[in-house]
Chains A and B, each alone.
Chain A
Amino acid sequence: MTDDEGVLAGHLQELRRGTVVVAALASLRTPGYGYALLESLARNGFEVDANTLYPLLRRLEKQGLLTAEWNTEESRPRKFYRTSPAGEQVLAALRADWRSLDASISDLA
């Protein structure tokens, strides 16, 4: 990797850091479990590390933005997360901010 690519990769990583939360809150309006969410995010272009996403889900649950319950009907018990009403509010605020950032940057250019 050349230096320029390294610089770009670093800035892209910084830029995307917070977007995982937005993506997770948006996807989990349909309940899902850890690994399924990891795969669906990857399919939609959010390459998240497993060891980042799983702790993040826990933190969002602790903050009350996600609710979680165990599904034991299938052969393998799984913890399903779903965006809570508080999570919906935060998601709406984050999306509004995202759009206003995009508009501000368009104005600058």
Chain B
Amino acid sequence: MGTLTDRYVSATVRELAEDQRDDVDRELRGTIEDMVDARLEAGAAPDRDRAEHDVLVELGDPIRLAAGYSGRPLHLIGPALYPEWRRLVVLLVSVVSPIAAVGTLVVRLFVDDVATDGVGPAFGSAALAGLTTALHAVFWTTLVFAVIERSQPGKGVLGWTPDQLPEAPASRRAVGRTETVGSLVTLLVMVLALVWQQTSSPVRVGGEAVPVLDPALWSGWLPVLLALLLAQGVLVVAVFRARRWTPGSAGVGALLDVATAGLLVWLLQTDRFFDARFVDALVGGGWTNAARDLTVGVTLGVLVVTLWDQVETWRRLRRA
């Protein structure tokens, strides 16, 4: 083990090109000695070791010093590439990752034996697929951009043109086409799911399809639920045509949300929501606490979504 100076100099020159090393090594050593002598002469340090230590602190991290000599960047992705990197990462994560998650969910729901395993593993692996895809997207994009940064420093690759500008809402309160379509699609999926679980349920007991929800609800609360969803759809279209949320439409929205959530939670908490045969099939398949887990899980889900919707609408109203 050498002196501090030996270690510092070798840590610095290790980062440099072969033909630079000896020269920088020699000059840096001389310079450090000059600086140490100056400190001792000025009485700034009690002894040589202390002075050497202080000088190395002043010169700072050898990686930074070496970057000064070699001109190599001290960042992974610099300002020339950062906007392109960010745009691509956001695009990949927001598009590819949900596709992977939804694709996995659909495949697993059809392939898995939902009666024995429940829907938990399918949702679990969907979430995992989404997360893994996002990690891969961020990692590989970053790696490629870091390599580009080092092969042609200070230059962009993809460039930028005004055509890439995202659609601007008419005002900050305005409700755009994309979110309207998103809301309508969500509502449609919910309606279809309600019908689908009755007509072609994936759950089978003894070869016979068992609906997820109690069929008795069709002559009672399910039509009410469908009517509430329809009303939500009408509200979404009305808000889009008015281009913005108003206190009035936000109030109606909150009422509809609370009515929907209240109905669902009440049905769940009074055990009227799920078909008993469906729950029995899950319990029989080994999910002992299926009734409780499903009730708690779906209740929580409903509450979170409802609360989120209120927060989002309120935020839009306030951003004037």
**Chain B associates with chain A:** yes
A interface list, Cβ under 8 A from B: 33-36, 39, 49-52, 54-56, 58-59, 70, 76-79
B contact residues, range: 10 to 19
Contact call A58/B38, Cβ cutoff below 8 A: no
Contact call A76/B33, Cβ cutoff below 8 A: yes
Q: Write out, one digit per residue, whether chain B residues 31-49 have a CB within 8 A of any chain A CB (1) or not (0).
A: 1011100100000000000
In angstroms, Cα B69 to Cα A51, docked, is 10
In the assembled complex, B93 has its CB within 8 A of some CB on chain A: no
**Chain A residue nearest to B64 in the complex (CB):** A51
Residues of B contacting A: mostly = helix
The one of A33, A34, A51 in contact with B68, judged by C-beta atoms closer than 8 angstroms, is: A51
Q: Write out, one digit per residue, whether chain B residues 175-200 have a CB within 8 A of any chain A CB (1) or not (0).
A: 00000000000000000000000000
How many A-B contacts are there with CB distance less than 8 Å?
Answer: 50
Contact call A35/B68, Cβ cutoff below 8 A: no
If A50-B58, A50-B59, A51-B59 touch, does A79 touch B65 (CB 8 Å cutoff)? no
If A54-B28, A58-B69, A79-B27 touch, does A35 touch B34 (CB 8 Å cutoff)? yes
In angstroms, Cα B26 to Cα A79, docked, is 9
Contact call A35/B38, Cβ cutoff below 8 A: yes
In angstroms, Cα B297 to Cα A71, docked, is 79
Contact call B27/A34, Cβ cutoff below 8 A: yes
Q: Which of B64-102 contact A (CB under 8 A)?
A: 64-65, 68-69, 71
Q: A-B pairs with the 4 shortest C-beta distances?
A: A55-B68, A35-B34, A79-B27, A55-B69
A91 to chain B minimum Cβ distance, whole angstroms, is 22
Contact call A76/B30, Cβ cutoff below 8 A: yes
Contact call A52/B31, Cβ cutoff below 8 A: no
**Chain B residue nearest to A34 in the complex (CB):** B31
In the assembled complex, B60 has its CB within 8 A of some CB on chain A: yes
In the assembled complex, B24 has its CB within 8 A of some CB on chain A: yes
In angstroms, Cα B59 to Cα A46, docked, is 17
B42 to chain A minimum Cβ distance, whole angstroms, is 11
If A58-B24, A58-B69 touch, does A51 touch B60 (CB 8 Å cutoff)? yes
B311 to chain A minimum Cβ distance, whole angstroms, is 34
Interface pairs (11), CB distance under 8 Å: A35-B31, A35-B38, A50-B35, A51-B65, A54-B28, A54-B31, A54-B69, A55-B68, A59-B71, A77-B26, A79-B26
Contact call A35/B35, Cβ cutoff below 8 A: yes
In angstroms, Cα B31 to Cα A39, docked, is 12
Known A56-B68, A58-B69, A78-B27; 9 more pairs at CB < 8 Å: A35-B31, A39-B38, A51-B68, A55-B65, A55-B68, A55-B69, A76-B33, A77-B30, A79-B27
A53 to chain B minimum Cβ distance, whole angstroms, is 9
**Chain A residue nearest to B58 in the complex (CB):** A50
Q: Which residues of the partner chain A approach B59 to less than 8 Å between Cβ atoms?
A: 50-51
In angstroms, Cα B26 to Cα A58, docked, is 13
Contact call A54/B68, Cβ cutoff below 8 A: yes
In angstroms, Cα B25 to Cα A77, docked, is 12
